[in-house]
Amino acid sequence: MVSVNEYEKVRLEFSKTGKAKFISHLDLNRTFKTAFTRAKVPIWYTNGFNPHPKMVFSLPLSLGAESVCEFLDIRVLPVVDCDRIKSSLNANLPDDIQIKRVYKPETKLEQMRWAKYEFTLTLCDASQKTADGIKNMLNGPIEITKRTKKTKIGFMEADISSGIRSSSVSCNGDNIIIIAELSASVDEYVNPDYIIKALAKYLQIDFEKENEGYTVMKLATYFEDCETVFS
């Protein structure tokens, strides 16, 4: 049996767009597990009665959100180079999940601190007034109900405003465009879904109405200074 010490860590940066935005985190694990097997990537497996590939993802992406900057850490035998891993995996992954690069990381995933998102809201009554209302909401306290393990009922009220570093809002026809930098740390993770919940709560926007809706795209991730792109 090959010791884990004989494997080296590599990081995969990948995109998850299009139809893949509806793949849950659990299904994403299964998708990559199948791809590693089909691509014959010599990844390290855990020990025990049910060995499985050791995979460490960055914070899970919300179901329905797209991203061009997701990360996955694995351990592989050093006999395979990064370019080969990239090409063999892309040949065995769905078109909407593609590896952008594979490299040996010098950082930990826990050092990721901020994420930039683009929210596109399609509203029948989109206007500058609506955009201004969203600006005011994002610049004030934002109380939302979030899941937590700290209470018996599993939910708690929390103000997420401290986890919003910056935001901008613009109106373009029937669309309202929000660019927001949200906390991506484990301790103060601001799920982009919280912004959608806040819009429904504070501005009574009903995204279930016909011809209305929204999309979410993660554009970039950063270290603590929010200027250096995470890698």
Domains identified in the chain and CATH numbers: 4-106 (3.30.70.580), 111-222 (3.30.70)
The helices-and-strands tally (H runs, E runs) of the chain is 4, 10
pLDDT at residue 148 in the model: 72
Tokens of 110: 């826990």
- Whether residue 218 is predicted with pLDDT greater than 80 in this model: the reply is yes
Residue 84: name the closest of 40, 32, 28, 34 by CA.
40
List, for residues 100-159, the tens digit of each pLDDT value: 999 999 999 999 999 999 999 999 888 999 999 999 999 999 998 877 766 656 778 889
CA pair distance 125, 131, nearest whole angstrom: 11
List, for residues 147-201, the tens digit of each pLDDT value: 776 665 677 888 999 999 999 999 999 999 999 999 999 888 999 999 999 999 9
For the segment 73-84, the average pLDDT, to the nearest whole number, is 91
Cβ–Cβ under 8 Å, residues 114 and 165: yes
pTM of the model: 0.92
CA pair distance 206, 224, nearest whole angstrom: 35
